[in-house]
Amino acid sequence: MKHIKIDQLDFELFIDYEQIKKRIRLMGIDISMKYEAKHPVFVGVLNGCFMFMADLMKEIHVPCEISFVKLASYDGTTQGSIHELLGVGMDLKGREVIIVEDIIDSGKSLQHTIDALEKMEVASIAVCALLMKPECVQYEFDNIMYVGFEIEKEFVVGYGLDYNGLCRNLPDIYKNVNSTG
């Protein structure tokens, strides 16, 4: 599909699955080399990371563990207070942690996750994101180590990213043609 319509919004193909797979393969090689003898824990931020994390883990060739967190805003916006709906569920003290995010937008949820992990006294935190909107990031991060694609202020859906819960299942990423977001 080159175009999709959701409600009254039009989206066009932005990044196809073949490009995504190639980029993830390269990220997996980099991570596997860096963490060769470190037994990292990958912490995926749900719901958006599920497709990216599944494909990324197929490209990781070192012993590792996987866990997930689920965050939500109290008022349903990126401006609201963040709270945890589902925790990591394992002891991470002294562990090498790689946070897996679908997209870094404002950075608010990422900052919340990093703060929570630092309280657990982890050895290190690296961030691996499929997409990042550099213009939108409102926090200073020195641990974003792996980014699949840097994008403009685009409103994107597909490959785990949603619009009102829809489109997470699409293999490609689409951008809204009517506005930026």
Res 66: pLDDT: 96
Reference 173, options 50, 27, 57, 4; nearest CA is: 4
Pairing of strands 65-73, 41-46: parallel
Q: Grade residue 10 by pLDDT with cuts at 50, 70 and 90.
A: very high
pLDDT of 28 over the 90 cut? yes
DSSP code for 158: B
Spatial separation of the C-alpha atoms in residues 94 and 72, rounded to whole Å: 27
Q: What is the mean pLDDT of residues 82-97?
A: 77
Query: Model confidence over 114-172: pLDDT tens digits?
Result: 998 999 999 999 999 999 999 999 999 999 999 999 999 999 999 999 999 999 999 99
Q: What phi, psi does 23 have (nearest 5°)?
A: -65, -40
The identity of residue 4, as a single letter, is I
Separation of alpha carbons 116 and 40, rounded Å: 17
| pLDDT grade for 78, boundaries at 50, 70 and 90 | very low
Which residues, including other chains, have CB under 8 Å from residue 158's CB and lie 6 or more apart? 167, 168, 170, 171, 172, 173, 174
Taking domain 18-32+39-72+90-151, whether its CATH number is 3.40.50.2020 is answered by yes
Residue 151 amino acid letter: I
Query: Would you call 172 a catalytic residue per the annotation?
Result: no
Is-contact 3 13, C-beta < 8 A? Answer: yes
Tokens standing for 56?
Answer: 């990324």
Show Cβ contacts of residue 142 under 8 Å, excluding neighbours closer than 6 positions.
none
pLDDT band with cut points at 50, 70 and 90 for residue 178: confident
Residue 5 bridge partners (DSSP):
10
Q: Residue ranges of the domains in the chain?
A: 18-32+39-72+90-151
pLDDT (mean) for 28-50: 95
pLDDT band at 75 (very low <50, low <70, confident <90, very high): very low
SS3 of 22, please? helix
Catalytic residue among 55, 105, 142, 162: 105
